[in-house]
Amino acid sequence: MDWSGIVGYGLFFLTYGGIYAISALGLNVQWGYTGLFNIGVGGFFLVGAYTSAIVTKGPDFSHLGGFGQPFLMGVLSGGAMAALLALLIGIPTLRLRGDYLAIATIGIAETLRLVVTNEQRLTAGVWGIGGIPKPMLSTFGDAYNVFYAALVLLAMLLVYFAIERGIRSPWGRVLKAIREDEAVAQAVGKNVFRFKLQALVLGAFFMGVAGALFAHFVGYISPEAFEPMNATFLVWVMLIVGGSGNSKGAMLGAFVIWAIWSGTEFVAAALPPSFGPRAHALRIVLIGLLLMVMLLVRPQGVLGEERQVSKLVRADRGQRPSAAEG
Amino acid sequence: MAQLLLYGVIYGGIISLGAIGVTLIARILRFSHFAHGDMMALGAYFALFFRVTMGLPMWVSAVLAVGFTAAAAVLIDRLFYRPLRRTSPAILLIASVGVALVVRHLIQFFWGAAVQVYQQGVERPYIIWGLRIRPVQVWILVMAVVLVAGVWLFLQKTRIGKAMRAMADNMDLAAVSGIDTERMIVWTWVLGAALAAAAGIMLGLDTQLRPGMGWFMLLPVFAAAILGGLGNPYGAIAGGMIIGLSQELSTLVFNTAYKPAVSFVLMVLLLLLRPQGLFGGKV
Amino acid sequence: MALLEVSDLRAGYAEVDILHGVQLAVQEGEIVSVIGPNGAGKSTLMKAIFGLVPARGGRIVFQGEDITGLGPAQIVRRGMCYVPQNNNVFPSLTVEENLEMGAFIRPASFRQKMEEMFELFPILRERRHQRAGSMSGGQQQMVAMARALMLDPKLLLLDEPTAGLSPKFAELVLEKVTEINRLGVSVLMIEQNARAALAISHRGYVLTMGRNRLDDTGEALLKNEEVGRLFLGG
C-alpha cells in the first residue's frame, strides 16, 4: 500500500474540505441564520484569493502587486476586501426582496470574473497569478502539507467558535428573529437593514479568508479556478445537505459533499479519457440531484437547524392572526 | 451606431422572450425561476438534436424543440416544484438553482462541452440601408415580432390568456372565481418554457451553442423582467429591448467583454431608484 | 330545509380559534346579515363557509349537501359565490374581462349572463371596456358583485359590500343587493354598517367574540335596544 500517497491525499482532502467549510460557515451566517440569498459566494471567494495574492507577492510586471506583505496580512486583506464588496452590494439590495439580492449576487460574481479576466494590468487576466507565497515553507519543508492542513483546520475552528459566540449573543438572536419573521423583528424596533448588512458582510469576510487560504495553498490562481460550480454551487449544496442554520451542519456538509465530489472524481478518472468532460458533467448532475432530493425530503439538512429561536418569537406568531380578522 | 442599434434590437428581442416567461412565472407561481436561462439552452439543444442529428429542416426542429421543452418544464414542475409549492419562495428559488445545474450539465453530458452550431459555414449578410444583417437575423427579427404579437394575442384575446392575466393580478380572486389554478400553472409553464425555448433557438442561430449559454442569459433576462416590473409581461418586452440596446450601445464606450455587466449595472441602478420597475409590478 | 345551514362551526388561524361554535341558517330567498364588533369573527365565518379557511369543527350544509371541508373551486360549482371585501376585482382586466373570469367555468353562458348583468348594473355597460382598476370604489363593488353573479349562484356571500364607499354609493350598492335578491338570489352579508344592512335584511345574526350573541328578524334587531346601543350608534 502506498501509505504516503494515501496520507498525502488525506491531507489534501482535509485542506480543501476545511477551506470549503469556512466558506460554508460564512454562507451559513448569511443564509442559514439571516435568510440572505447569496448566490455569488464565488465572487467573494475570488476577491479574497486575488487580494491576498496581490498583497503578498513581490513585484511582478504581469499584474498589480509588489506589496510583499506577510501571509496573515494577505489573508486578512482578502477577507476585508470581500467584506467591503459585500457592503457595497448590500446597501442597494438588502432593503428589497430576497430574490433581488440573489440575482444581484450572481451579477456581482460574474462581473468580478469579467474584471479579473479582462483587467490584465491588475490581475494578469487569463494567465493568472502564480508564485503565490506559501507561508513558512522553509520551516516545514517536506511536512508542509501537514502544516497547511492543520493551519486551515485551525482557521476553520476559529471561524466556527467566533460564529458560535456571535450567534448566541443578543446580536445573533436578532438575526434569527429576522429570518423567522422580518415583520415582527421590524415591529419590535430592530433596524433590520443594519443587521442584515452586518450578516452579509461578516459572511463575506469568511468567504474572502477561505479564498485567500485557497490561493496560498495552490500557489497559482486564474479566473477558471473560480468557476461558479466549484466556488458557489458546491458550497450551497454543502450547506443545504449539512443543515442550514447550523454551524456544525455547515462543516459536516462541507466534508461530506467534498468527499462525494472527490470520490466521484476518482471514479471519473478511472474511465477512459475520452469520457472526460461528460464524466465531469455527470458528477455535477449527481450533486444537483442530491440537492433536489435533500430539498424534497429533508430541507433542513442532515443536522437540521440549531434550536435557538427565542420563545418570544413563537408566542408572537400565535397572537398575530387576530389582527387579520375584520 | 445604427448597426449597434440593429444588433441591440435583435438581442433585445431574444431577451424579451425570455423575460416574458420569467415575469409570468414570478407573478403566477410566485418565485424567481433561476432555471429559466437553462430552459432556453434546453430548447436550443433540442433543436440542435432535431436539426443536426435527425437532419430535419430548421423550422421543424424548432417547433419540435419548443414542444419538447414545454413538456420538460411541465415534468420538472411536477417532480420538483409542485411538492415544494407550499414551502417558501426561497426554497423554490434554491430548487430552481438546483434544476438549472442539473439541466445545464445534462446538456453537457449529452452534447459535450464544445461549441456547436446549427449549420456550418458563414452566411453573407444582406446590406439594407447601409446596415449589415445576416439572413438568419432577419428570421430572428421576424420570429421575435411574430411571437411577441402572438403572446399579446394570447393574453388579450383567449380565455386562458385572460385567466393568466387574472391570476397575475389577483391569485386569490381567481381561485374564488372557480379558475382551476393547477391547470393554469401548467399553462404558465408551457407558455414560459415555449418562449424560452424559442429565445434559446434564436440565440443559437444568431451566435452558437454552448452548455453554459443558459446560465449566461439568466442575468440579462432577469434584469429585463425586473426593469419592466416583475409580473408585467408587456413591461418585460420593453425591458428586454432596453437591456439589448444598452448592451450593444455600451460597446461604444466600454470593452465588449463587459457587455454582460451592463445588464447587471442597469438592474442595480433600477433597484436603487425605482424597485417596482419602469412600468410597475410587485416590489 | 334551509338553503345554507351552519352548525357548531369552529375555525381559526394558526394556533388560535376565532370561531367557537357558530350557528347560522339562510332560507331560500332571504337576505341575512351578520353584524358585530371588529374581531368578532364575521369575516372568518364567511371564509370558512366558502372553504377559504378550513373548518376545525362543526358542519356546513348547502342545499342539503355537506360541504364542510370543500374548497372554493368546488363550492363555486355548487352554486355559492363570494365577493371578498378587498381586492375584489382584477384591476388590469376590463369590466367585460372581469365578468368573463366570473363565468370561467361556464364559458358558454358568458355572453348571455353578461347581458343580464348589464341590465342589472347599467353603469357597467357604459364602461365595459374600462380597466377595472381605474374605476371608483363604488363602481368596483358593482363589478365585483356582477362577477360573482355570472355563475347564477343560489347564494351570494358579500363581505362588507359598503366598506369604504360614500353614503350615496353605499345606498346604491344595498339597493342592488335588494334587487339581486328579488331576482331569486339569496344573500348572506357581513356589514359594519349594521343599520343599513339590517334595514334590507330579512334576518340578522349578531356575532361577538366568535359566538352567536343574538339573532332575529332584521326589523326586530333594528328596534332592539341592546343592539341599538352597541352597533347602531352611527
Q: Is position C142 within any domain?
A: no
CA dist., res. C188 & res. C2, Å (int): 13
**What pLDDT is stored for residue C233 in this prediction?**
54
The answer to whether residue C110 sits within a structural domain is: no
CA-CA distance, C223 to A215, in Å (whole number)?
Answer: 85
pLDDT at A28: 93
Q: Which carries the bigger pLDDT value, residue A195 or residue A143?
A: A195
Partners of C160 on chain A (C-beta within 8 Å) are 326
A230, pLDDT greater than 80: no
- Kindly tell me if the per-residue pLDDT of B102 is higher than 80: yes
Give the residue-averaged pLDDT of B10-35: 92
Q: Is position C190 within any domain?
A: yes
Chains with ≥3 CB–CB distances under 8 Å to A: B, C
Q: In the predicted model, what is the mean pLDDT of residues B164-180?
A: 89
Q: What is the pLDDT of residues A259-318, one digit of tens each?
A: 999 888 888 877 777 777 788 888 899 999 999 999 998 888 888 877 654 444 444 444
In chain C, the number of structural domains is: 1
In a domain, C80, yes or no: yes
Domain enclosing residue C211, as ranges = 4-85+154-231
Share of chain B above pLDDT 90, in %: 52
Measure the CA–CA gap between A211 and A221, rounded to whole angstroms.
Answer: 10
Assign residue C75 the CATH number of its domain. 3.40.50.300
How far A316 CA sits from the closest chain B CA (Å)?
Answer: 20
Secondary structure string (H, E, C) spanning A195-248: HHHHHHHHHHHHHHHHHHHHHHHHCCECHHHHCHHHHHHHHHHHHHHHCCCCHH
C contact test, residue of B27, B167, B177 with most C CBs within 10 A: B177
B112–A107 C-beta distance less than 8 A = no
Q: C108-152, pLDDT tens digit by residue?
A: 999 999 999 999 999 999 999 999 999 988 899 999 999 999 999
- Gap between the Cα atoms of B37 and C217, Å rounded: 63
pLDDT tier, B85 (very low <50, low <70, confident <90, very high otherwise): confident
Contact criterion met (CB < 8 Å) for B166 and C93: yes
Exposure pattern of C27-54 as b/e (b: 16+ CB <10 Å)? eeebbbbbbbeebbbbbbbbbbbbbbbe
Interface confidence (ipTM) of the complex: 0.87
pLDDT at C147: 95
| Interface contacts A/C by beta carbons within 8 Å | 30
Alpha carbon of C169: minimum distance to chain B alpha carbons (Å)? 23
Mean pLDDT of chain B: 89
The answer as to whether C108 is a domain residue is: no
Domains of chain B as residue ranges with CATH:
2-118+127-273 (1.10.3470)
3 state DSSP class of C156: strand
**DSSP letter at B84?**
G
Q: What is the pLDDT of residue B160?
A: 93
C215 inside domain: yes
Closest-CA distance of chain A to residue B131, Å: 30
Domain contains C91: no
**Percentage helix, strand, coil for chain A under 3-state DSSP, each rounded to 5:** 80, 0, 20
Q: Is C222 in a helix, a strand, or coil?
A: helix
Query: Which residues, including other chains, have CB under 8 Å from residue B237's CB and lie 6 or more apart?
Result: B16, B19, B20, B148, B228
Q: Does A291 touch chain B (CB under 8 A)?
A: yes
Closest CA to A288 of B268, B108, C29: B108
Burial of A43: CB neighbours in 10 Å, binned 0-12, 13-18, 19+:
buried
Question: First CA to last CA across chain B, in angstroms?
Answer: 35
β-strand partners of B128: B131
Mutate to test the interface with B, among C76, C88, C101 (most CBs of B within 10 A): C101
Contact B223, B21 (CB under 8 A): no
> Hey, how many other C-beta atoms are within 10 angstroms of the C-beta on C74?
12
